[in-house]
Amino acid sequence: MGADRYNVPLYRPFEKLISITVRGKQFEVPENQILLRAFQYLCPETIPFGRYCWNEECQYCRVIIRKPGSDKISQALSCKLMAEEGLEVVEMAPELQWNLSQLLQPPSAEPEVQAE
């Protein structure tokens, strides 16, 4: 992953993955990225098709977060906020919920084995 059809890197340069939590689930994303781009790393087939302006106008990327080492919950725009190690995304705007729905699904139950 990295270059798109215009030969422009999709992600800022990174050397390692960092851990973030989205609604209680932990994920690994590239360092040095805005949070919306980190979400794109996790869901490359849905985030690019969301109705995001990517420049702080539409508000469709709004998230409620807890910064690492803080108990305080605050709002942020994921197109502006840099992802950082230990960031917790507590809640998000409906557009993000829709685009990240495959990540946020509860694990499916194991099929029951029928005794013969």
| Helices of type H across the chain | 35-42, 94-99, 101-104
Q: Which is nearer to ligand FES, 62 or 67 (CB)?
A: 62
**In whole angstroms, how close is the CB of 89 to ligand FES at the nearest point?**
14
**In whole angstroms, how close is the CB of 88 to ligand FES at the nearest point?**
19
Q: Are strands 25-30 and 62-66 parallel, antiparallel or unpaired?
A: unpaired
CA dist list (Å): 98 to 12, 75, 116: 25, 19, 41
* Residue of this chain nearest to ligand FES (CB atom): 79
**In whole angstroms, how close is the CB of 22 to ligand FES at the nearest point?**
16
Q: Which is nearer to ligand FES, 65 or 71 (CB)?
A: 65
Smallest Cα–Cα separation from 12: which of 25, 26, 21, 1? 1
Q: Tell me phi and psi for residue 74, to 5 degrees.
A: -145, 165
**In whole angstroms, how close is the CB of 79 to ligand FES at the nearest point?**
3
Q: Which is nearer to ligand FES, 4 or 56 (CB)?
A: 56
Q: Which residues make up the interface to ligand FES (CB under 6 A)?
A: 52-54, 56-61, 77, 79
